[in-house]
Structure 1
Amino acid sequence: MADTIFILFILCVNVVVCEWLSTRPGFSHIGTALLVILLTAIEANLGIIPTTETPAYEGIFSYVAPFALFLLLLTVNLNDLRQAGLPMLTLFLVGSAGTIIGVFTSVWLFSAPETVGKLYYALAGMFTGTYIGGSINFHAVALHYGVSKAGNLFVAATAADNIMTTLWMVATLAIPRFLQRRFPRQLPTSALVEGTPAAAYTDAETMSPSDLGMLLAMGLGAIVLSKQVATLLPALPFVLVLTSLALLLAQFRRVNNLRGSRLLGLFCIYLFLAVIGAYCDVAALLYDGRLAIVLFGMILTLVLIHALIVFGIGAFFKQDWDVLGIVSQANVGGATSALALAKSLNRPDLQLPGVLVGTLGNAIGTYLGIIVAEVLKAS
């Protein structure tokens, strides 16, 4: 059996290397998450670390991954949503409904039970979660249904998701500008002056021993409590209990403002993704190109349906094109992507609202993802 400390050493080094690579030309558009998966997959297939289950991998799946999901949800305070404004909130929910419609359509159109396999319903739930919320919800649903251990399927889905997220950032930069030229909308006065950008989303944080102790205590305590509740009430999935606890605690400002939750949560997510890579058979993944094509086709279909619904309804009610683009990006790419898009469109007035509706997606994405998966599983 491989030494657990050695495995953890390799995984931590991989995070460092991939963080550095993500800042270099040619790698910046891939992102740390996918780089960690690919690098660890290569090492595992070369025999540097195991490709089979070990105590280190099992510990990361059982404790580190749920801990990461818990920490990242602590940033979601629902009281802040009032600052996003009713039109943006309404359009975001319309976009979420468009995602769900798109998921069901793509499953039917691509005959997912046959082309994807027996875990098609879980994959549909993952796509629902990530294109309403973000990667937090993608991983939460994957963890719940065990897709995380289906290495090739998970890696193919992650790769297709990363490609679509990049393409959709380009699309949401271009579409509002094109529509503004063809069908001009009068911009609000606040959009014409510089505002204070939202700065909440940064990976660099300063934290104290007290912050770290609080985060560790709450996270570990929440995992223990969630497991007990899920054991006593089998109808309540562990992931949903943990998500609910995190969201409940996040409504207290003392908890919501704890420093380090995003930093520590991201690092733990990267360790989790590294283990995903270790389970991946690269040769089989490259051989099975058909699966990657099917998954990308499903994602493309659902995102286009989502876009038609958001921009169609927004056009009918004569909404600001930039608002529609940022709302769509908040669904497809998450809060961070919505913030980046608002900056790129030179709309400082929409930076904070974009982040806030993105956090709403984090709050509801896992619930809706599991609901969609269960509906498909039962059908």
Structure 2
Amino acid sequence: MTGSTLISADNTWALMAITCGWVAFSIYAEQTWAWASKLSGAIIALIGALLLTNFNVIPTSAPWFDDIIWGYVVPLAIPLLLLQCDIRKIWKESGKLLFIFLIGSIGTTVSAVVAFNLLQNSVPDPAGVAAMMTGSYIGGGVNFATLSGSFAIPGETVAATTVADNLLMACYFFVLIAIPSISFFRKAYKHPHLDEVESVGVDEAAKTQAAAYWERKPISLRDIAVDFAISAIIVWISFSIAKILGTAIPTSNPFLKTVNALFSNKYLIMTTVAMLVATFGSKHVEKTAGAQEIGTYLIYLFLFVIGVPASIKQIIVNAPWLFVFCLIMVVGNMLFCFVFGKLFKFNLEEIILASNANIGGPTTAAAMAISKGWVKLVGPIMLVGTLGYVIGTYFGTFIGQLFGA
């Protein structure tokens, strides 16, 4: 197919221009127009790649996609996004939210086991899908990228799963937004933050904090240099450790083979190293701006690229069962959050945001808190959701190894 496309696979500059150009449009659209904000920049990026591929404008495989984005961009993005994950700070400031978040993480993992056993003969690469979605539904898209690379899941499966996931996410967020207005939930759970917002009508303070939260941030040349240096060093050290452990640990029996696969997993090692740097080097890391923004932009490039190998025909064939697979996991997460949240007397707002942080990641949870005026929960849920970047990779790797991904 690559020989018949308008842009050839070896035209790296053209493919780079198209990728960066469409990602820029996706981000601009999400932050400018209401319809695009509801759709999300991630879906816009993916849709653009799908259309360009299926209309033979760009190839399904090229060095820019396979070697540069997968080989360098994704590994650089992950440490950048993990640099704010100071475990001590998360525990100190967000202990209560952390508890319900961890309950939701267990719900996601249990649901992955259920979905795998029910649908392993109906979806492609079921073990890989279970691993990816376990990570994704504990910490968000960062874990999805990490685990898809970690288990070398075929691009067609990654793209089809992403389409199914994005469709489900749209439905899921609408449900979460609607829950605070449903009388059953208002009667069953305490909702002090909702009461506070409604008691003053339009919360001008929330507006101000929301605007401040998403405004432009000062960033210097030094910040950019330090961010990239830290990320590159983490990747280099992590990949080196993984290679050494992979050589040192024998594979003479099934148990040792599993141990070897676990400790030679370069993405798992990279997550651990990045977390240690963020925790024990927090004083230095916090002085450097821009890591979150740069990391998120690089992930957007990845989001475009995962849509490239997708055949619309294959997605139509595969996505329906993949949708059901993801649906089982999302429903499982919500059941754990709401049932145990009720048992342990959590507020409705805390339960909603914890589930949101699991399924969509810290950014979507913080955005929802801001949009609802629950401004006191923005910082804590951002911190807790960031922890999902770390534990999601561990949980997803465990599920993948368990099912032989």
* Global fold match (TM > 0.5): yes
Structure 2's unaligned 5+ residue stretches are 1-8, 247-259
1:125 corresponds in structure 2 to: 131
Deviates more, 1:24-33 or 1:226-235: 24-33
Q: Does 1:92 align with 2:101?
A: yes
Give the aligned partner of residue 123 of structure 2. Answer: 116
* CA separation of 1:184 and 1:6: change in aligned 2, threshold 3 A: closer
Task: Write the distance in 2 (CA, Å) between the matches of 1:186 and 1:34.
Answer: 32
**How far apart, in 1, do the equivalents of 2:213 and 2:275 lie?**
18
User: Which residue number corresponds to residue 14 of structure 2?
Assistant: 6
Structure 2 counterpart of 1:215: 227
% identical aligned pairs:
30
- In 2: Cα distance, 1:142 partner to 1:201 partner: 31
Q: How does 1:173-184 map to 2 (within 5 A)?
A: 173-178=177-182, 179-183=184-188
SS at match of 1:350: helix
Matches within 5 A, 1:227-242: 227-234=239-246, 235=260, 236-242=264-270
Matching residue within 47, 50, 74 for 1:38: 47
Q: Does 1:48 align with 2:57?
A: yes
Per the normalisation by structure 1, the TM-score is 0.88
AA aligned to 1:217 is A
Residue identity in the other structure for 1:101: V
CA contact (8 A) 1:160 1:292 kept: yes
Report the 3-state secondary structure (helix = DSSP H, G, I; strand = E; otherwise coil) of the residue aligned with 2:227: helix
Could you state the TM-score of these two structures normalised by the residue count of structure 2?
0.83
Contact 2:15 2:64 in 1 (8 A): no
Matching residue of 1:168 = 172
- Say if 1:198 and 1:351, in contact at 8 Å, map to a contact too: no
Equivalent-residue separation in structure 2 for 1:80 and 1:67 (angstroms): 24
Q: Is the aligned partner of 1:263 residue 2:290?
A: no
CA distance in 1, matches of 2:147, 2:134: 9
Choose the corresponding residue for 2:277, options 227, 235, 249. 249
Q: What residue in structure 1 maps to residue 3 of structure 2?
A: none
Q: CA RMSD in A?
A: 2.6
Q: Distance in 2 between matches of 1:190 and 1:257?
A: 37
Q: CA deviation at 1:214?
A: 0.9
Mapping 1:1-379, distance limit 5 Å: 2-22=10-30, 23-54=32-63, 57-110=66-119, 112=120, 114-117=121-124, 119-147=125-153, 150-178=154-182, 179-183=184-188, 185=190, 187=192, 197=209, 202=214, 204-234=216-246, 235=260, 236-251=264-279, 252-286=282-316, 288=317, 291-377=318-404
Shift of 1:84: 4.0
CA distance in 2, matches of 1:200, 1:242: 32
Name the aligned partner's letter for residue 85 of structure 2.
Answer: V
Total equivalences in the alignment: 370
**Structure 1, unpaired ranges of 5+:** none
Contact 1:125 1:372 in 2 (8 A): yes
Cα distance between partner residues in 1 of 2:331 and 2:275: 30
Change (3 A) 1:134 1:85: same
Summarize deviations over 1:138-165 as a string: whole Å, max 9, x none: 1100111122xx2332122112222222
| SS of corresponding position for 1:206 | coil
